[in-house]
Structure 1
Amino acid sequence: MKKRVNSLFVLALAGMLSFTSCKDNKEAENEPAEPMQHEMHQADTEMDHEGDMMDQSGGEMAMAEFSDENSSMMYQHYLEIKDALVATDAAAAKKAAGNMAGMMEEKNDISSIAENIASIDDVNKQRELFSELTAAMEPALKEAITSGKIYKQYCPMAFEGKGDYWYSNSDQIRNPYYGDKMLKCGRVEETIE
């Protein structure tokens, strides 16, 4: 009996810790919605005392530059897909993915995955494909970045606790795998420079 009570206690404690690790603060529920990062205008950003761009939530906005225009556009479309998934907007994700696939000069894994995202209306299936897109983008981003930063972020709760990554131009977490259900679940795992 004592062994069973101990087991139940350990399970309850583990459950509380996993939900607490990615639970949004109650204060966040009352915050106004923030604009998607790719739609920010100059008035939506400001400079901190060191000259870094800051987003409205106080996070650092990273401006990445790439060795070629194709890589720059690919990254911008990727951010548009991510932001659409953060907003749980399947139509916007579909459009951004179609734009990404259309601008690719040659057929590769990235363009194929973007085409698949663009062909699906189900946001949960788009999120699964976005995971594949993120994995395919990593070598391209690391090879092409010449200056600035890209934040590689991680959510341990994504895909039933398997966890997954995404890239962002802000150090603030805006989770594309859960949207407003777990908007701030995650952490910056790596900064690509």
Structure 2
Amino acid sequence: MKNLKMSIAVMLLLAVSVANAQEKHKMDHSKMNMGTMNMDKMKDVKAEAILTSYSILKDGLVADDSKKTAQAALKLEASIKTFDKSKYTKEQQKELADIFDDATEQVQHIAKSPIDHQREHFKTLSQDITDMVAITGTKSTLYEQFCPMYDGGSTWLSTNKEVSNPYYGSKMLKCGKVQREIK
């Protein structure tokens, strides 16, 4: 009887130990999955800063405000310069370098030009930023919008689904449509 009680006690302790080990393993595994999920959801902070500066620049064009647009272009240039490409593959680093070289040239023109010329350079800049997002991703939902009237058709990115046209500003504020959603 004494041996039976001892065996039951040992088995109970063993069962409790195994259960605790399994629970700890589950918790560790769920933490690991949570970490992976958070990493997936966290996008490149420097890319988000570029998108924010781009959005402010776009809003300056929407508002027909050449000065605000020029200031935003300088901030965008600074954001581009601080971008860390080392997190990306060699091929992506090369693509990002090309994108940022071109984007820098566009924002330098935007920073010192009248509004009509700013809008011309914004078209190429918008394509550069769209190309960047294709590589870096984004934590925000973006809307690629399209104006069929400007320069044979032109796109831009917006955080708002509602169209506010940066190519024509107040002249044709609602000209355009959402072409696609980027998540």
Q: Tell me which interval the TM-score lies in, with the shorter structure as reference length.
A: 0.5 to 0.7
Code of the residue aligned with 2:58 in structure 1: it is K
Distance 2:66 2:140 in 1: 30
1:104 corresponds, among 55, 60, 80, to 80
Change (3 A) 1:66 1:132: farther
Structure with more helix by fraction: 2
1:69 aligns with 2:61: no
Alpha-carbon RMSD across the aligned residues, in angstroms, is: 1.6
Distance 2:135 2:50 in 1: 13
Distance 1:83 1:167 in 2: 11
Instruction: Give the paired residue count.
Output: 126
1:114 corresponds, among 101, 107, 114, to 107
| Counterpart for residue 130 of structure 1 | 122
**Contiguous gaps of at least 5 residues in structure 1:** 1-64
**Contiguous gaps of at least 5 residues in structure 2:** 1-40, 84-99
Structure with more strand by fraction: 1
1:91 corresponds, among 67, 71, 77, to 67
Deviates more, 1:145-154 or 1:181-190: 145-154
Displacement of 1:146 in angstroms is 4.5
1:140 corresponds, among 132, 136, 148, to 132
Please identify the structure whose Cα radius of gyration is greater. Answer: 2
Q: Which structure ranks higher in relative contact order (CA pairs < 8 Å, sequence separation ≥ 6)?
A: 1
Displacement of 1:116 in angstroms is 1.6
Displacement of 1:143 in angstroms is 1.7
Show CA shifts across 1:42-79 (max 9, x none).
xxxxxxxxxxxxxxxxxxxxxxx762121011000100
Distance 1:190 1:183 in 2: 19
Show CA shifts across 1:107-161 (max 9, x none).
62112211121121x10000000001011111211221244311000011112xx
| Counterpart for residue 178 of structure 1 | 168
TM-score, normalisation: structure 2: 0.65
Moved over 3 A (4+): none
Distance 1:174 1:142 in 2: 23
TM-score, normalisation: structure 1: 0.62
Change (3 A) 1:143 1:66: farther
